[in-house]
Structure 1
Amino acid sequence: MAFQTASLLAVSLLILWVTPALGGANDAEDCCLSVTQRPIPVFLVRAYRYLLLEDGCRLPAVVFTTQRGHELCAPPDQPWVGRIIRRLKKISARRRVPAVTQ
């Protein structure tokens, strides 16, 4: 009887330990651990995305992707971050508007 109880306990602990890894419970793998306070040169940036608390991240951030594919984390509340995002949106809007020909 003691052997069955010990076996059941061991299996239960193993299931509890492995389940989060199998279920993808760690959605925060893409989260930033820190953000840079130094402004990133606008010409280096080609894209951005938000990582928010609602996404499971402990630190809200804007992730800028550089021309070379590197990802840099920045604080979303900084004015320079907003300027980069506005510039990227403006460039994106220009690309989407078809040229008018006569």
Structure 2
Amino acid sequence: MTSRVAALLLLGIFCVGFASAQIVSDCCLKVSRKTLPLQILDGYIIQDAGHGCEISATAFITKVGRMLCVSHPKDQEWVKKYITFLDEKKAKRQ
């Protein structure tokens, strides 16, 4: 009886592990090339194609929690500058 319970528990752990590996993250499906107002941004996520998402992009997070997808930093200079600014702002807060 105890071995059956242990086997079922072990099976449950394996199933949860496999299920969590299949969770899809939010991905940018298309990007805007328009410059965003810097004062509305609070953070960013860099998305690389082939690592769970189809395209490379930068997802800027606004102060109200919205995700705005723009070009990858390697493609647009203004995106690199915004990322540098946000990194410096975050470092000052810590």
Q: Give me the whole-angstrom Cα distance separating, in 1, the residues matched to 2:37 and 2:81.
A: 11
Shift of 1:42: 0.6
Paired residues in the alignment total 74
Partner residue in 2 for 1:80? 78
| Partner amino acid, structure 1, of 2:52 | G
When you count helix as a share of all residues, which structure comes out higher?
1
Partner residue in 2 for 1:40? 36
Instruction: Determine what percentage of the aligned residue pairs are the same residue.
Output: 31
- In structure 1, list runs of 5 or more residues that go unmatched: 1-21, 97-102
SS of the residue aligned with 1:33?
coil
Within-5 A mapping of 1:1-102: 23=19, 25=22, 27=24, 29-76=25-72, 77-96=75-94
User: 1:12-46 deviations in whole A, cap 9, x for unaligned?
Assistant: xxxxxxxxxx956473x511111010001110100
Higher Rg of the two aligned structures: 1
Shift of 1:95: 1.5
Q: Give me the whole-angstrom Cα distance separating, in 1, the residues matched to 2:62 and 2:22.
A: 29
Partner residue in 2 for 1:13? none
